[in-house]
Structure 1
Amino acid sequence: MAGGTSVTKEPASDLFAARFNDAGFAVLAFDHRRFGESGGAPRQVVRVNEQVADWHAAIEYAATLPDVDPDRISVWGFSLAGGHIFHVAADQPRLACAIAQTPLVDGRAVAPHALRAMTPLAALRLFGRGVADALGGLAGRPPLLVPTAGARGAVASLTTPDAMDGDQALDPDRRHANWEQTVAARIALQIGRYRPGRHASRDTVPAAGRRL
């Protein structure tokens, strides 16, 4: 199990993992590299291929754990990680089930909606910061970070009307003070091109999903 974009396991997958565990499932919750308790630098940088590789590594590790049946492993992710699930399920036909909650399936379809939720100035500033971040990364400079979510008019990765709902739902009491809710701005240049749904066949693996 893993969360999307900068959502780490403590405020997200751990909440669901506890319920699964109470129902008798063994759960391996992890953070993608460069986020949360996982290693990797520079921090807060999303690299899709690396994150998909992290899923494969987690599955391989889970299969080695005591009392785990390699033929009964399932994967669960939401948002950006939900999109990764399609890649993973297509490449791992041995999986018992793949669960994608509100997944990012087609960035090209989502991008116009996300842009409409931004003010023109904020959109220009976000993409300008994304270009500067990408170029800076090539030069070895630290990432230029933006909030993962923000109100309309903010320079943030997502400013749709429900953008702030995730934070309020996952950490309403502000218990996770170490949760870094930022992401490298270069993500603005990537999401519109990410279309994991194209790579998955419906009959690859039993799947459960939900779109809201």
Structure 2
Amino acid sequence: MTERTERVAFRSPGMAWDLAGILHLPADFDENRSYPAIVSVHPIGSCKEQTAGDVYARALAEAGYVVLVFDASYQGESGGSPRLIEDPAQRVEDIRVAIDHLVTLPYVDAERIGGIGVCGGGGYVINATMTDRRLKAVTSITGVNFGRLSREAFSGHDPIDALERMAAQRTAEARGEDTRVDDLLPPSVKAGREAGLTDIDVLEATDYYKTERGRTAGGMTSVVFSRRAAAIGWDAFFDAERLLTRPLLVVIGDRPGGFGAYRDGQEIYGRAASKDKRLLVVEDTSHYDLYDRPEPTRQAIRAATEFFGAHL
């Protein structure tokens, strides 16, 4: 049995643009029944058609859930201008807007909504769960705290210098200069190695996003440089010791890389106030193995299905 899909567009009152999403529905879906639902949140630089959708949303729909995966504001097929902005606060608000849409669907049980996210999406959905009590349980798949990553590797471990340069660039753009757009990855694994890059996460991200393995039209790995300042001042895990009380599942691989999912997973597992929290460390597995490789994703999906089955 396979899931059914339905393309949707939605927004909340006062929002100036639509979010574009795909509803993944169980194969035997009956609109007269009531289903638990899950919001699936894509990684940084990704889109609804990649891992959060074609791997995790699909599998959870096959397990009987209604799953909504959507493009972030300013990205993919969703609205918002300028394009190619990665704003953590907006990403979390997008999750709330997705829940707004789910609770209007007559076949969704509003008391049984969970969240799952991959990479940066894992950090975003954890953060959303701390402040939106409509989320009853949360799963992070190789989740990354994008604020921490932005302050460290993504700013050359000099966030103040990065903020100065971002401020100068934004001023230049406000005065009419062209927008600076940076690609977060090299054009190919070969090019990355030739440039001296050795980090497993950078090279495997390139293999996923820059080849037929994961490349899609909506999955852009580029960002507007001047708008990255907001991420430097943001923290996915702020006050988790008090606010993260919902059941939590953290899935990470045991082969750490520069994006820091291993350390972030261990950190949030330790800090969360959740009485029911679980940590799965998948052996011989890297960050990007958990995007689409059969055996690591099989283990992650099995754990997520059992976890949501217990809590939704």
**Structure 2 residue 100 is the aligned partner of structure 1 residue 21:** no
1:126 Cα offset (Å): 7.4
C-alpha distance in 2 between matches for 1:180 and 1:126? 22
What amino acid does structure 1 have at the position aligned with 2:185?
A: A
Q: Give the counterpart of 2:142 among 102, 115, 120.
A: 102
- Judged with a 3 Å threshold, the aligned counterparts in structure 2 of structure 1 residues 49 and 126 are, in CA distance, closer, same or farther, namely closer
Q: Secondary structure at the match of 2:111?
A: helix
- Judged with a 3 Å threshold, the aligned counterparts in structure 2 of structure 1 residues 101 and 140 are, in CA distance, closer, same or farther, namely farther
- Judged with a 3 Å threshold, the aligned counterparts in structure 2 of structure 1 residues 180 and 153 are, in CA distance, closer, same or farther, namely same
Q: Where do 5+ consecutive residues of structure 1 fail to align?
A: none
More displaced stretch, 142-151 vs 184-193: 184-193
**Structure 2 residue 212 is the aligned partner of structure 1 residue 173:** yes
1:19 Cα offset (Å): 1.1
Q: Give the counterpart of 2:249 among 193, 208, 211.
A: 208
Residue 38 (structure 1) aligns with: 78
Contact 1:114–1:159 at 8 Å: present in 2 too?
no
Aligned CA RMSD, in angstroms, stands at: 3.4
- Judged with a 3 Å threshold, the aligned counterparts in structure 2 of structure 1 residues 126 and 14 are, in CA distance, closer, same or farther, namely same
- Judged with a 3 Å threshold, the aligned counterparts in structure 2 of structure 1 residues 135 and 209 are, in CA distance, closer, same or farther, namely farther
C-alpha distance in 2 between matches for 1:81 and 1:141? 32
Q: Secondary structure at the match of 1:87?
A: helix
Residue 180 (structure 2) aligns with: 144
1:79 Cα offset (Å): 2.3
Q: Where do 5+ consecutive residues of structure 2 fail to align?
A: 1-39, 187-191, 253-261, 263-312
Q: Give the counterpart of 2:114 among 64, 68, 74.
A: 74
1:26 Cα offset (Å): 0.9
More displaced stretch, 80-89 vs 51-60: 80-89
Residue 193 (structure 1) aligns with: 233
More displaced stretch, 125-134 vs 178-187: 125-134
1:134 Cα offset (Å): 2.8
- Judged with a 3 Å threshold, the aligned counterparts in structure 2 of structure 1 residues 69 and 112 are, in CA distance, closer, same or farther, namely same
C-alpha distance in 1 between matches for 2:221 and 2:146? 23
Contact 2:75–2:218 at 8 Å: present in 1 too?
no
Q: Could you state the TM-score of these two structures normalised by the residue count of structure 1? A: 0.78
C-alpha distance in 2 between matches for 1:68 and 1:98? 17
Contact 1:5–1:183 at 8 Å: present in 2 too?
no
Contact 2:52–2:118 at 8 Å: present in 1 too?
no
**Structure 2 residue 173 is the aligned partner of structure 1 residue 134:** no
Provide the identity percentage.
Answer: 25
Contact 1:98–1:207 at 8 Å: present in 2 too?
yes
RCO higher in structure (CA 8 A, sep ≥6): 1
Count of residues in Structure 1 that have an aligned counterpart in Structure 2: 204
What amino acid does structure 2 have at the position aligned with 1:65?
A: L
What amino acid does structure 1 have at the position aligned with 2:142?
A: T
Q: Rg bigger for which structure?
A: 2
Greater per-residue strand proportion = 2
1:96 Cα offset (Å): 2.1
What amino acid does structure 1 have at the position aligned with 2:70?
A: F
1:30 Cα offset (Å): 0.4
